[in-house]
A and B are shown apart, each in its own frame.
Chain A
Amino acid sequence: MGTEAALVLQVAKASRSYGGRPALRQVNLRIAEGEIYALVGRNGAGKSTLAKAAIGALALDAGEVRVLGRDPARDPAARRAIGVAPQDIALYGHLTVAENLDAFATLAGVRQDRGDAVREAMAETACAERANQRVDQLSGGWRRRANLAAAIVHRPRLLVLDEPTEGLDAETRVILRRLVDRLRARRTAILLISHDGEDVAALADAVGVLHAGRMVAEGSPDALAKRAFGARQELVVRLGVRSAPAEPILTGQGLTAHGAAALDDGLTWAGLVEDAPARALAIDKALRAAGVGVRELTVRPAGIDALIAWASKDAAA
Chain B
Amino acid sequence: MIFVMLRVMALGLWRDRAGLVLAFVLPPVVFIVFASVFGAGASGKLDVRAGVVDRTASAQSHRLTRALDQVLGGRLTLYPDRPALLDAVENGRVDAGVLLAGDLGVDPAPVTVLIHPGRRAAGQVLTAQVNAVAAQALPDVMMQREVMRLGPLLALSGEQRGRLGSRPPPAAATPFVTQEVLGGGDPIVVYYAGAVSILFLMFSCMQGAMSLIDDRQTGMRLRLGLSIGGVAPLLGGRMLWLVALGVAQALVLFGVATAVYHIPLLANVGPWLITAVCAAAAAAGIALLLAAACRTREQAQTISTFVILILAAVGGSMAPRFLMPAALQTLGWLTPHAWVIEAYQAVLWRRVVNERVLEAWLVLGGFGAVGFLGALAIERRRKL
- A residues in contact (CB < 8 Å) with B: 52, 55-59, 72, 76-77, 79-80, 82-84, 86-92, 104, 107-109, 150-151, 162
Contacts and interface: CB of A to CB of B under 8 A. Distances in A.
A87 to B, nearest CB: 7
9 contacts: A52-B222, A55-B225, A58-B384, A76-B230, A80-B226, A80-B228, A87-B219, A92-B220, A107-B226
A57 B227 contact: no
Contacts of A92: 220
Nearest to A92: B220
Nearest to B219: A86
Contact of B222 (A76, A86, A107, A108): A86
Contacts of A59: 383
Q: Please provide the 5 A-B residue pairs with the shortest distance between their CB atoms, ordered closest to farther.
A: A86-B219, A107-B227, A90-B219, A76-B228, A109-B228
Nearest to A79: B226
A251 B200 CA distance: 71
B383 A108 contact: no
Contact of B223 (A77, A84, A109): A84
A90 B226 contact: no
Interface size class of B (residues with CB under 8 A): 10 to 19
A88 B219 CA distance: 6
Contacts of A150: 223
A107 B220 CA distance: 12
Given A72-B226, A80-B226, 13 more contacts: A55-B225, A57-B384, A58-B383, A76-B230, A79-B226, A79-B227, A84-B226, A88-B219, A104-B223, A107-B227, A107-B229, A108-B227, A108-B228
Contacts of B227: 79, 107-109
A92 B215 CA distance: 9
Contact of B383 (A57, A107, A109): A57
Nearest to A160: B222
Contact of B219 (A58, A79, A162): A162
Chain B contact residues, majority secondary structure = loop
B157 interface: no
A86 B219 CA distance: 5
Interface of B: 218-220, 222-230, 234, 383-384
Contacts of A56: 225
B218 A107 contact: no
A80 B383 CA distance: 18
A136 to B, nearest CB: 13
Contacts of A82: 226
Contacts of A109: 227-228
Contacts of B223: 84, 86, 90, 104, 150-151
A57 B222 contact: yes
Contact of A57 (B218, B225, B229, B234): B225
Contacts of B384: 52, 57-58
Contacts of B228: 76-77, 79-80, 107-109
Contact of A90 (B220, B229, B234): B220
A107 B224 CA distance: 8
A188 to B, nearest CB: 15
Contacts of A84: 219, 222-223, 226
Contacts of A76: 228-230
Contacts of A79: 225-228, 230
Given A57-B383, A58-B384, A86 B224 contact: no
Contacts of B220: 86, 90-92
